[in-house]
Amino acid sequence: MDISNLQTKSTYIRHRNGKIKTAVQSKAQIVTKLTLIILALLTIYGFKTFDYKNISVVVAMGETLNNIKQMFLGAKLSHFNLQYGFYQVLVTLSLGFLTTLIGAVIALFLGIFAARNLSNRATSNIIKAVVSFIRAIPTVLWVLIFAVAAGLGSVAAVIGLTFHTVGYLIKAYSESFEEMDEGVIEALKASGASFWQIIFQAVLPSTATSLMAWTFLRFEINFTNAVAMGAAAGAGGIGFELFMAGGFYYDLKEVGVITMLILAFAMFLEFSSTKIKNKYIK
């Protein structure tokens, strides 16, 4: 092997026992280290030259810790009771579930035609190009775009969240379909099975685990998005109450209760989805 052809840099380290150890670094590792060093230097320079407006960083950190302490150790509700808070979380949860359900049904149908092994290349490329554009725009912007036509509220939130969900799940579903064994599809075609027989008897049963996993993942994402849409688009739910407590009343203790409610439901969703997948999806 010609050593001169190796695109590496060797560093020789002499130990106390007299032995020499060679540490080989590739060009990618060298570039990565240089990049990290440059970023670290720029960060230090930024902190030193930043205009703090006569604000003491130490004092600000202390006040931040005090605010966090008030939020989570002294959390209490002032403008509504706990029962109403649970109801608002369920409203947000329902918004996430509805948009996931509608988006999954639409994406399942379009994902079949977006898969290269189930559809022709032109149709697949067109659908994938459109959904790439949809995914490139954040969910909140889609909601605000539809709010121009439907007005701020739950309608715009449902349409915007569903629109982005469709784009997300089409990509996920189509990639799951493309991972199928080509031999199974070819064998069914050779035996005279129709297109929809192949879909319902081979494709969907074989990819059910993957489809369900992607759907649950999107449901969790839609729940967190629905919280944000409650404030940004006036969709209601716990997100709107969080916006009012933090931006209107500036009640940190109430913000703490709402945050803990959201975290509790998010953890419950994760636990439930894991149990369902382990029990019903093999």
How many residues make up the chain in this entry?
282
Query: In sequence order, what DSSP letters do the residues of 215-280 get, joined into one string?
Result: HHHHHHHHHHHHHHHHHHS---SHHHHHHIIIIIS--HHHHHHHHHHHHHHHHHHHHHHHHHHHHH
Q: What is the pLDDT of residues 58-107, one digit of tens each?
A: 888 888 888 888 888 877 777 778 888 889 889 899 999 999 999 999 99
How far is the C-alpha of 258 from the C-alpha of 249, rounded, in Å?
14
Longest Cα pair distance anywhere in the chain, in angstroms? 78
How far is the C-alpha of 196 from the C-alpha of 77, rounded, in Å?
54
How far is the C-alpha of 263 from the C-alpha of 159, rounded, in Å?
25
What CATH code would you report for 77-280?
1.10.3720.10
Q: How confident is the model at residue 168 (pLDDT cuts 50, 70, 90)?
A: very high
pTM over 0.75, yes/no:
no
Q: What is the pLDDT of residues 14-73, one digit of tens each?
A: 545 555 555 556 788 888 899 999 999 999 998 888 877 777 778 888 888 888 888 888
Q: Where are the domains of the chain?
A: 3-71, 77-280
Q: Nearest 5°: phi and psi at 248?
A: -105, -55
Count the Cβ atoms, other than its own, within 10 Å of residue 26: 12
What is the structure's pLDDT at 23? 54
